[in-house]
Amino acid sequence: MASARPTVLIFSHGGIDGGHGNIKYAANTYQAEFCEPTVTPIQLLEDHPAVQAIWIVDHDIMLSIHKHISDRVVNYAGNGGTVILGGWFSSTMSPRVFSRWMEKAWNLPWRCGEVRTATVFLRDPAIGPHPNWQHALARSYHQKSTFLKNVSPTESWYTSVLA
């Protein structure tokens, strides 16, 4: 049933082509590139006001030239929207810039933690009112990534600590 599929906006620096994997089978996805003027993140937000999630794939949203996009995304999250920082985000960002962005734009204490390899586990309570997403999300997976610190367990879909 097509209407049961959530709508997810994907914001990236460049095209990710097939790189968004299985999400395209579980959700209606629309992608905008920060550097491509034909379809901008702002345009996608205007075209899809009832979007269920925004997936930010890389660090461009933290750049001052994209402050207007960052402000819209923060406002969307403040109104109950789901924002996912993933993909290449942690490998393309500066920890110092991330900390400043979290503090100034989001008013959050989130900071970069250590880079490590770990198995992460899905935290069902953090997903919130999107039960139709759970069937498409891996219960656990092994990754090497920058882990965040000062993040409440209720704000993280995946954690390296079993909850």
Task: Give the per-residue pLDDT at 77.
Answer: 93
Given a cut of 70, the residues of the chain with pLDDT beneath it are 1-3, 15-22, 125-136, 162-163
Task: Give the per-residue pLDDT at 86.
Answer: 81
Listed residue (65, 105, 68) closest to 85, CA to CA: 105
User: Measured between alpha carbons, how far is residue 53 from residues 5, 7, 23, 48, 78 in Å?
Assistant: 12, 7, 12, 11, 13
Between vectors from CA 118 to CA 107 and to CA 102, what angle results, nearest 5°? 10
**Amino acid, single-letter form, for residue 68:** H
How many C-beta atoms surround the C-beta of residue 101 within 10 A?
A: 21
Q: Are 48 and 20 in contact (CB under 8 A)?
A: no
Task: Give the per-residue pLDDT at 119.
Answer: 93
The size of the chain, in residues, is 163
Task: Give the per-residue pLDDT at 62.
Answer: 94
Domain edges within the chain:
2-159
Task: Give the per-residue pLDDT at 91.
Answer: 79
Task: Give the per-residue pLDDT at 58.
Answer: 86
Q: Are 42 and 65 in contact (CB under 8 A)?
A: no
Task: Give the per-residue pLDDT at 163.
Answer: 46
pTM of the model: 0.84
